Every structure is written in structure tokens, then in C-alpha cells.
Amino acid sequence: MAYTSMLSGVHQAIGNTPMVHLSRITKGLEGNIFAKLEYLNPGFSKKDRIGLQIIEEAEQAGILQPGQTVVELTSGNTGTGLAIVCGVKGYQFVAVMSKGNSLERARMMSALGAEVVLVDQAPGSVVGQVSGEDLANVEKVAQQITKKRNAFRADQFHHVGNTHAHEYHTGEEMWLQTNGDIDVFLDFVGSGGTFAGCAKTLKKHKPDIRCYVVEPASAPFYANKAQTNPNHKIQGGGYSMDLPLLDKSLVTDYIHVTDEEATAVARELAKKEGIFAGFSSGANVAAALQLLKGPEKGANIVLTINDSGLKYLSTDLYK
């Protein structure tokens, strides 16, 4: 018997996430925030999309062979997406992650069949605050494992599939769900793929859409401003490192959010909107609120809710 609505695997449930009008958190402000609920992907984050896109593009290009091991460095979300996709497609996956990232992520990846390698943080780094130096240490280990096992490196910071996932899918979904009524797109950048892909697609449809990069106030690296502290609580981004996928020609301006602002807005999202999300989602909405109170008063702003608050229960986000 054929089931017309049946999926052949959970990887086919990735994408087509809902869009929600954040009308409660914006009460009293002119303008709107439209939030795409990426934490409703199977791995509870937007990174499921790039896990699927990178693997399928590698398969199509013939650079990922049946039975080959897949390796990637991760803050936990890309690794979870890759663990899901590799699991259903039959690849062994090795996730390489800093010990500074929340423990829930490592446990989830392991439960999904990944081999998880945890890397010590750099001297002076704080647990829960992963710096660019910490990430560089993770990168070294990922390279060593890739070479030793003759593995396929998913390489989210360089693989164009990262951008394609959002150019071909997320951005197009945003456009359709809002009927094109978008003035502003913003994103807290990790690898740069979400920003680059969505901005490219949205500007294709409407060239005057303004696109903002969000980064930690203590590490305004992409805005070429002085850093006061490369360590911050907003996991999954703000690494103060060059991002090959980040097309700066798409950037209208840069917005800076403190740890305290990201935390407070994430908590407010949960209480007022029923959206239980992580630090970077709080940073995105905090940045959007900044814009509505300032240079983008009256605008329609679209953004992503990047991952679930369930991934931060061991942190102080919801204490």
C-alpha cells in the first residue's frame, strides 16, 4: 500500500518551518518582527538544513562515497543535523566540539549515533563561552581525524552547501510566508551561511531589502571595531574569525548585542511568545527590537529562531 504523505526518513522533515508574528514582545513599537521557527526542525535547529544540503551535494558530486566517515567541527547544532542525516543515510559521523559548549549537545549527538570528540578549551577560556581560539583548537583536531580516517569533511565554514541550504530553501520560504512584505533581514552569524543565503535570495526578490549582521557587543569583529572580550555567552557564533561564506556586499550594517540583552530577550520570548529558544535567537530578536526603536522604526523585520532552549538547560540561560 502506498502512503502519499509518508516520508522515507526523518531527513525529509527538515525545512518548511512555520513563521510567527511576534506581536507580544513588540507591543508599543511601530513595525513587526516575523520569526521563522527553525527549532522545529528534527534536530531542533536551523543547522539541520545545512547538514542535509552539504551531504546531498557531496553525494551528487561523488566526493562522499558509500560507507565513508563524515567529520565536522561543531558547536553542537550542525553536528546534530549531520548526525541525523548521516544516521538515516548510513554514514558514520564524528562530531568534534569544544568542551565550552553545553553538555546537552554532546549527549544528543551521541544518542543520534555520532562519535563525539570533545576538545579542551584554550587557557583562560570560560566554560559556556567559546572563543575563536577555542574553535581553532577544535579545527586542528577535526583536520587530524579527517586525515587519519580518510573521511569526508563537511566543512560548514567553507562548503557552499551551507549557503545553498538557505538560498534555495530558507530564504524562499521567508519570501512566500510573508508575501514578500519584508523590509529587513538580520542574522547573528556563526558560519555566515544563513546570512549569505537568505540575504542573497531576499535581495533577488526585492533588491532594497536591508540586511544586518548581528554580533556580540564585546567582539564586534565584522564591523572592524575594537574587541573588549572575545569570550561571550552567545554559543554558535561571534567567533571573531574570517568567514569565507559571508558576502559583505550584502551587509547593510552591523548590530551589536550584549550577553545580558540576548539572555533577557530569550527569556522574554519564552514568557510572552511561548517560544523556548537559545542565546542566538535572543540575540536576533534583541537586535530587531533595537532596530524598531531606532533606524528601522515601522519596518517589517524577518529573522530565524535558531535553536531550542532545551540545548541550554545546563547553562544559566533559564536559571
Contact residues for 188 (Cβ-Cβ < 8 A; gap 6+): 214, 215, 234, 237, 238, 257, 280, 283, 284, 287, 306
Catalytic residue among 280, 281, 308, 311: 280
Question: Which listed residue (36, 46, 47, 233) is catalytic?
Answer: 47
280 is catalytic: yes
User: Minimal CA–CA distance to 289: which of 312, 264, 270?
Assistant: 264
Element (H, E) at 305: strand 300-305
Cα torsion 105, 110, 112, 114 to 10°: value is: 110
Per-position DSSP letters for 202-250, written without gaps between them = HHHH-TT-EEEEEEETT--TTTT---S-S--S-TT----S--TT--GGG
**Rounded CA separation 185/67 (Å):** 40
Catalytically annotated residues: 47, 280
